[in-house]
């Protein structure tokens, strides 16, 4: 059963927060936040609820990260342009507030990824099932960005755009079986490829496969366009990560960051 939730979308840099809407913006011509932008960020987030955990979406451009979030949070599909910088949703899951960060896959914003992943409790690594290179990029370009995530961070590997391939039937039930039909695009990445990547991630993180969630439970194929398996992805990850929050709260250990408690100082002009 789906849990009740509220949602707020907040651009991380220079747009005004809007309830139920995802925003993109940049704070400078090159897309990097300046001191004035960070000042605005503080004012925008100072009245927000403190998130109990952070979930981050990583992946190359055009794999459908933003579309997945639109489908889950807004219950609709929307063609989007490439994300510039980043943005996030604040979602209530039971008694907990979860910040879901949508990041840019473009090379010019790659360096910001480790900042978004800092203290993350979950990371969703997203690829396009019709593009093998997008899966390879997860290991080559994006996995290293998760070094700033929590040590017990949960990982999911997600192949989006399954509706475009010959492994999907648009007339089948969203959560049902998918008999093979003719299609315009050949599927390049099998679920077994994603499972193999997940196991390599566990080795990279030096995590015991007998302790972490099984690969078969953390590798998904989705369609942001039809909604296939999107709820299963996000709610499955939420249910995996919430026990970690319960454990940390019980021990009095809190790794979330309250932006309202760290108001940035105004820069002062100094003479040389």
Interval 134-193: pLDDT, tens: 999 999 999 999 999 999 999 999 999 999 997 766 555 445 445 454 556 899 999 999
Please report which confidence band the pLDDT of residue 48 belongs to, taking 50, 70 and 90 as the band edges. Answer: low
**Backbone φ, ψ for residue 59 (5° rounding):** 155, 165
β-bridge mates for residue 156, sequence order: 124
At 75-112, the pLDDT tens digits run: 988 776 565 556 789 999 999 999 999 988 666 566 67
At 246-272, the pLDDT tens digits run: 887 887 765 554 544 444 444 445 444
- Return the pLDDT at 212: 92
Please report which confidence band the pLDDT of residue 13 belongs to, taking 50, 70 and 90 as the band edges. Answer: very low
Mean pLDDT, range 21-46, rounded to an integer: 43
Domains, the chain, in order of start with CATH, read: 7-126+133-156+222-261 (3.40.50.300)
- The alpha helices in the chain, defined as continuous H runs, are 35-45, 65-74, 113-117, 132-137, 191-204, 215-218, 230-250
* 14 pLDDT above the threshold of 50: no
Please report which confidence band the pLDDT of residue 22 belongs to, taking 50, 70 and 90 as the band edges. Answer: very low
pLDDT > 70: percent of the chain: 64
Q: What is the DSSP string of 120-140?
A: -SEEEEEEETT-HHHHHHIII
Average model confidence (pLDDT) across the chain? 77
What long-range pairs does 194-198 form, CB within 8 A, spacing at least 24?
194/127, 194/135, 194/157, 194/158, 194/159, 194/219, 195/157, 195/219, 197/125, 197/135, 197/138, 197/139, 197/157, 198/155, 198/157
Judge contact between 50 and 97, C-beta under 8 A: yes
């Amino acid at each position: 059963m789906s849990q009740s939730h509220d949602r707020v979308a907040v651009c991380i840099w220079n747009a005004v927060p809007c309830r139920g809407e995802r925003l993109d913006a940049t704070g400078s011509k090159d897309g990097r936040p300046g001191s004035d932008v960070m000042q605005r960020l503080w004012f925008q987030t100072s009245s927000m609820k403190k998130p109990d955990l952070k979930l981050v979406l990583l992946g190359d451009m055009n794999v459908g990260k933003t579309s997945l979030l639109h489908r889950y949070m807004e219950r609709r599909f929307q063609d989007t342009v490439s994300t510039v910088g980043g943005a996030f949703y604040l979602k209530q899951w039971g008694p907990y507030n979860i910040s879901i960060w949508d990041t840019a896959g473009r090379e010019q914003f790659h360096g910001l990824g480790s900042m978004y992943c800092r203290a993350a409790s979950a990371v969703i690594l997203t690829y396009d099932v019709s593009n093998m290179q997008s899966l390879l990029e997860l290991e080559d370009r994006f996995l290293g960005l998760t070094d700033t995530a929590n040590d017990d961070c949960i990982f999911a590997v997600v192949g989006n755009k399954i509706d475009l391939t010959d492994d999907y039937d648009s007339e089948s039930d969203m959560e049902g079986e998918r008999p093979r039909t003719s299609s315009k695009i050949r599927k390049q990445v099998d679920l077994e490829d994603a499972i193999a990547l997940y196991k390599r991630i566990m080795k990279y993180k030096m995590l015991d496969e007998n302790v972490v969630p099984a690969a078969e439970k953390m590798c998904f194929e989705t369609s942001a366009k039809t909604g296939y398996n999107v709820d299963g992805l996000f709610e499955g990850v939420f249910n995996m990560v919430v026990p970690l929050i319960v454990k940390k709260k019980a021990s009095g250990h809190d790794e979330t960051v309250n932006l309202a408690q760290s108001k940035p100082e105004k820069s002062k002009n100094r003479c040389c």
